[in-house]
Amino acid sequence: MKKKITTVFIIGLMLVATGISVSANINEYKTKDIEYQKTRGEIINITVQEAFDMLTNTGDGIQVPIDVRRRDEWRPQRIDTPIPEHPRWYLLDLIQNESILPKFLNQYAQCDIIFYCKAGGRSYKAAKIVANTSFAGTIYNMLGGITEWNNQGLPTAPGGIYNITVNEVYDLCTNLVDGIQNPIDVRYDYEWYSGFIDTPWPECPIWYCLDLFKDPENNTRFCNEFIGQEVIMYCKGGYRSLVASYLIYENFTGTQYNMLGGITAWTAAGLPIRNNTAPDAPDIDGPAKGKPDVDYDFEFTTNDAENDVVEIFIDWGDGEDTGWIGWYGSGETVIINHTHAKGTFTITAQARDFYGNISELSELNIKRPRIKALNFNIIEWLFERFAALKQLLGL
């Protein structure tokens, strides 16, 4: 009997020990997970009330809410918080796409972001993906999602097109802590060339005429080029920009804005506008003479009067070219190497600024002469010069 009790006692201890071990492992995992989050600052879970308090007060900085739900969830209802802490729509599928994720990281590189979805699951997936990158901002996950947001009686609105004032556009497009917004000027070419809104790179305006949106192929091209991004349509008075917004509405996956009053209201508010001139022709520096089939470095520098970023096109003169490469800052020197075969070549280069204006051509003439080989035999030369020596040697 004593032996049986002892056996049961030992088994009981083993079970308890096992239970403690399992419990300890769980607690250790949880402790490590929490410690990991505190150390790395990767994902911070917050309640809907905490999210609301953060998103209705810029005194604690700007946090950008990212809604990762589907189109059919976003369009009927989103959380309602004021600009610049309003929600953006960025599908989880896009964040999970390896080719699109870098665009997301670039777009919100200087932001603190709050992911949310329906209940908290998809937003946590998105947060984990971003946390496993070099993203430097603070990442929050809103627990309970928009379901809990509704349960707490917090405000919501339809997820359509944001109609925003010119001052709101200016504020959004002159800093990066609220993400990158792309102003799209949908006016005609003669209007564009007469002047456009002046906001700094990378939030400077892009010209895309309204008529292009009416063509299905161009419409699709635009939606693919700006997938996941934030676009602000503007025109002269606000009507054509709203038309453009609705022309892409069913196909566009991203956040849409319409600038009320257009460039007319922008000018009336005293906000800056500008024209554009072509950049200077690039200066080309490199060895004019050299050996064939040897790699040489060439330097290309171009200046832009408005300090716009530029691309450079280089034709090496031997049937090869670089295509348009960049972007580079005004005055920045770009070093690119190339190998030429023997011969004489003319290297040409052009610069193109962000708005599409192209510089004059610049040229550099180079020579890669053939190296002459020494094709004589020194022994034969000696015999020719000293014939008697050949006879003495009996040759």
CATH number at residue 355: 2.60.40.730
The answer to whether residues 219 and 149 belong to one domain is no
* Alpha-carbon span 230 to 209, nearest angstrom: 18
**Which runs of E-coded beta strand occur in 229-359?**
230-234, 255-259, 273-274, 283-285, 295-301, 310-315, 321-328, 333-339, 343-353
State whether residue 236 is helix, strand or coil: coil
Band the pLDDT of 28: cuts 50, 70, 90. very low
Where residue 19 falls among pLDDT bands split at 50, 70, 90? very low
| Structural domains in the chain (count) | 3
* Residue 6 predicted with pLDDT over 80: no
- In the 8-state DSSP scheme, what is residue 318? S
- For 186-262, strand residue ranges (E) read 196-197, 206-207, 230-234, 255-259
Residue 78 belongs to a domain: yes
Q: Is residue 383 included in any domain, yes or no? A: no
Residue at 21 is within a domain: no
Q: Is the pLDDT of residue 160 over 70?
A: yes
Predicted local distance difference test score (pLDDT) of residue 260: 98
Could you tell me if 182 and 270 lie in one domain? yes
Element (H, E) at 387: helix 387-392
Is 378 part of any domain? no
Contact assessment for residue 114 and residue 17, using Cβ atoms and an 8 Å cutoff: no
Do 320 and 351 reside in the same domain of the chain?
Answer: yes
Q: Give the domain extent around 140.
A: 44-157
Q: Which residues pair with 311 in a beta bridge?
A: 352
Q: What is the mean pLDDT of residues 11-24?
A: 36
Same domain, 168 and 270: yes
pLDDT at 40 over 70: no
Tell me the whole-structure pTM to 2 decimals. Answer: 0.74
Q: DSSP letters along 148-191, please?
A: HHHHTT--EE--S-EEE-HHHHHHHTT-STT--EEEEE-S-HHH
Question: What's the pLDDT tens digit per position in 325-376?
Answer: 999 999 999 999 999 999 999 999 999 998 888 999 999 999 999 766 545 5
* CATH number, domain containing residue 91: 3.40.250.10
Q: Which of 215, 240, 274 is the last residue of a domain?
A: 274
Judge whether residue 193 has pLDDT over 70. yes
User: Is residue 239 one of the residues assigned to a domain?
Assistant: yes
